[in-house]
Structure 1
Amino acid sequence: MTLLSKDSITNLKLKSLTPNKIYNVNCIQGMSEIPDKKIDLIVTDPPFAINFKATKANYNRTASRVMQGYNEIKPEDYYDFTFQWMSEAFRILKDSGSMYVFSGWNNLKDILMALDDVGFVTINHLIWKYQFGVVTKKKFVTSHYHCLYVCKNPKKRKFYPFSRFKKDSKNKEGRSLHYKDKEDVWEIKREYWTGDEKTPTKLPSEIIEKIMQYSSKRGDLVLDPFLGSGQVAVISKKNGRKFLGFEIVKEYYSFAKKRLDKNIYRIKK
């Protein structure tokens, strides 16, 4: 993902932009083509703003199976970059809509500042706790990820509290299932696509489905400005949502499109 000047956005018009399609374009260019207040839900995992190595031999990745091309943002540019795409996201989000932004700890301050400066209202600061992090010797192990759940208009925001469990549903110990499911720490395992073609990062399907079930309904339009492997679009299609996505890296876009066109979740290398 790279920053675009206003002139470059104006000169790069898309021929058409319709639901249930993804586009190999910069997200700011893509969002500029969407009319005001058209999107019901945004779920996205922006670039990290770190020196990220796509084929680094961690998390059980095999370098030959990880696609190259990951675009990164310099730390000193990260706030401006974030403010720019979030401003477009705010414009196209419905008053009743919501946005979920994933972030590591290193660029969290820029994410939080940009959300406030653009005008988003923070509903929850969610923590995704996954099964393990990278072993460290001089600091504590990082084994979680942040997710900022925000909206445009808190009075009109839609939320479906019993979409996953009924109000009186209980577990074997007699505790409320829907209460546990709505706590702000989510323990969800990472997905490791051993032996499959993959991009260097992706959100697990379980966490995307959970977000969609609480903050959208069938037929709603879901956008991911940083599509990557296509997870949000693929899960949207599976769950009866309309989708839009933008991905600037040609290899990632082609991979996501293949998954959508063939209705395949995992692709063997």
Structure 2
Amino acid sequence: MDCLEGMKYIDDNSIDLVITDPPFAIDFKAKKGNYHRTKSRVLEGYNEIPKESYYEFSINWMKEIYRILKESGSMYVFSGWNNLKDILNAIDDTGFVTVNHIIWKYQFGVVTTRKYVTSHYHCLYVCKNDKKRKFFPYARFGKNEKDQDNHSLHYKDKEDVWIIDREYWNGDIKTPTKLPLELVKKILQYSSERGDIVLDPFLGSGQVIIASKMMERKYIGFEIVEDYYRFCKERLESGNYRIKDKKIGDALTLFDTERN
């Protein structure tokens, strides 16, 4: 169901962490042959939001998040540059406190001839109460852990530019957009702990709740595109991280993903 309807069933101050990548406000073609994408394996149905309505769309779902998020909780919202202004205004107008503005740098963008190539994404890390929010600074690297050049590993890992490659799902069924597993797991490690409730109001392929299941978090998500919902549910129930095209071979299991 629509997250605005679904979140009405969630109690006030009950969610520990929100990670979400809302729909774009651009003329997005799900099956466009960018990034060596095989059109036949991309699921139809990407939900588009008109640009002129994007602020209203954003503030409506953020108000519900603000209600259901714990004082100790936080939210990570991903955004492209095109609708960033509306996202930032909605964050401020809803009452969230901005903790960090993270840049996710990935390995490729669409080739251009009259402007610079866009190869990054914005991530707004926000909370309700900056004094009470959870954050685990040494969840990934110890306080005194060093690399081979004697540089602090935890310091480098917590810098606000994250260089993480997009995932290639060659031969797999997929939705038009998805966050890499490494990116979601990093957020889960720093801003949640086992047993916490993680919410994604715009599930898409289900990366957030798949990662949450792997890391022993509880999870809630909403999706209005039926094919995406079924795809996400199949991944959860089968234990397969990637669903292979039947002509290609077997699926990659959650266990295999964790091991690799």
User: Could you state the TM-score of these two structures normalised by the residue count of structure 2?
Assistant: 0.94
- Of 44, 47, 51, which residue of structure 1 is paired with 2:20? 44
Is the CA contact 1:205–1:235 (under 8 Å) kept in the aligned structure 2?
yes
In the other structure, the counterpart of 2:91 is: 115
Q: CA deviation at 1:60?
A: 1.3
Q: 1:265 is paired with a residue of what secondary structure? A: strand
For 2:168, the aligned partner's letter is Y
In the other structure, the counterpart of 1:179 is: 155
Rounded Cα–Cα distance in structure 2 between residues aligned with 1:76 and 1:83: 13
Rounded Cα–Cα distance in structure 2 between residues aligned with 1:225 and 1:254: 16
Work out the number of aligned pairs and report it. Answer: 245
Q: Deviations over 1:192-224 (max 9, x none)?
A: 100100000000000000000000000000000
In the other structure, the counterpart of 1:70 is: 46
Is the CA contact 1:60–1:192 (under 8 Å) kept in the aligned structure 2?
no
RMSD, aligned α-carbons: 0.4
Q: 2:185 is paired with a residue of what secondary structure? A: helix
Rounded Cα–Cα distance in structure 2 between residues aligned with 1:59 and 1:202: 13
Query: Is 1:233 the equivalent of 2:206?
Result: no
Rounded Cα–Cα distance in structure 1 between residues aligned with 2:72 and 2:38: 42
Rounded Cα–Cα distance in structure 2 between residues aligned with 1:234 and 1:47: 19
For 2:60, the aligned partner's letter is Q
Higher relative contact order (CA 8 A, sep 6+): 1
In the other structure, the counterpart of 1:242 is: 218
Q: CA deviation at 1:79?
A: 0.3
Is there any run of 5+ residues in structure 1 with no aligned partner, and where? Answer: 1-24
Query: Is 1:212 the equivalent of 2:188?
Result: yes
Q: CA deviation at 1:59?
A: 1.0
- Deviating beyond 3 angstroms after TM superposition, the runs of 4 or more aligned structure 1 residues are none
In the other structure, the counterpart of 1:4 is: none
Is there any run of 5+ residues in structure 2 with no aligned partner, and where? Answer: 246-260
Rounded Cα–Cα distance in structure 1 between residues aligned with 2:128 and 2:36: 39
